[in-house]
Amino acid sequence: NIPIKRQFNIIKSVKLRLFLHLQRPCWYPL
């Protein structure tokens, strides 16, 4: 069986990081 939920969470996390990296809000450390 393929851990689809885990892959989904990883993709979601990566997209979130990319989004935050591109946006760079004032509250974001980097």
Q: What is the pLDDT of residues 1-30, one digit of tens each?
A: 678 899 899 999 999 888 877 776 665 554
- What is the per-residue pLDDT for 21? 75
- Furthest-apart CA atoms within the chain: distance in Å: 42
Q: How far apart are CA 17 and CA 9, in angstroms?
A: 12
- What is the per-residue pLDDT for 23? 73
Query: Which structure tokens are listed for 19?
Result: 């989004």
Q: Kindly tell me the burial class for residue 15, based on how many C-beta atoms sit within 10 Å of its own C-beta (0-12, 13-18, 19 or more).
A: exposed
Q: How far apart are CA 29 and CA 9, in angstroms?
A: 22
pTM of the model: 0.51
